[in-house]
Amino acid sequence: MEHEIMMTGVGGQGVQLAAQILARSAVVEQREVMTLGTYGGTMRGGNTDSTLVVADGPIHSPPIVAEVGIALAMHHAFFEPVAKKLRPGALIVVNSTVFEEKVQAEDASCIEVPATRIASDLGVGMAASLVLIAAFAKYTGFVSLDSLVAGMEQSVPSYRSQHVEGNAKALRAGYDAIEPGGTPAWPGTGGAS
């Protein structure tokens, strides 16, 4: 089984770090992963996207995909190009704190997570993207919380080690913010753990 995921947002929201953590957490769980991050013309305020292809066997798609089954959206500003790539039956997970209106997508499920509010309430506002990926992981059973924390610890550079504890809190809060969905991401996993 193979999943194509796009994560999008505004530069400075932690999209690239969150995608890297999600990729590394999948590797912790013995999955195959390919990822590609793209950036707009500016560091902060421009668009930032990351595409992940995650599989339980050899990957056949490069991380440049025509359509995706999962979209993780931190901000509405650059969601439209991602929305155009959604395949029928796609899952959309949005940061409802900043989205200006409800996501309208035909033949897709949308899960709203107030990621920015949750992270801000914890005192780690810059970790909202981690809240979002953890909620996604719990809802789909994509990876366990332990794998997310391990992926985060591998992804944070040593000169940013002071953020590890806050990032772990954000991951736990995102994981606790939602109930598991009905269909597990991987056959035989039984949903979220």
| CATH number, domain with residue 21 | 3.40.920.10
pLDDT average, residue stretch 146-170? 94
Given a cut of 90, whether residue 133 has pLDDT beyond it is: yes
Domain-located, residue 192: no
Domain-located, residue 71: yes
Domain-located, residue 121: yes
Please state whether 13 falls in left (phi above 0), alpha (psi between -120 and 50) or beta: alpha
- Find the length of the chain: 193
Domain-located, residue 183: no
Tally the domains of the chain.
1
pLDDT average, residue stretch 20-36? 94
Angle made by CA atoms 132, 182, 55, in degrees to the nearest 5: 65
Domain-located, residue 189: no
Range of the structural domain that residue 115 is part of:
2-176
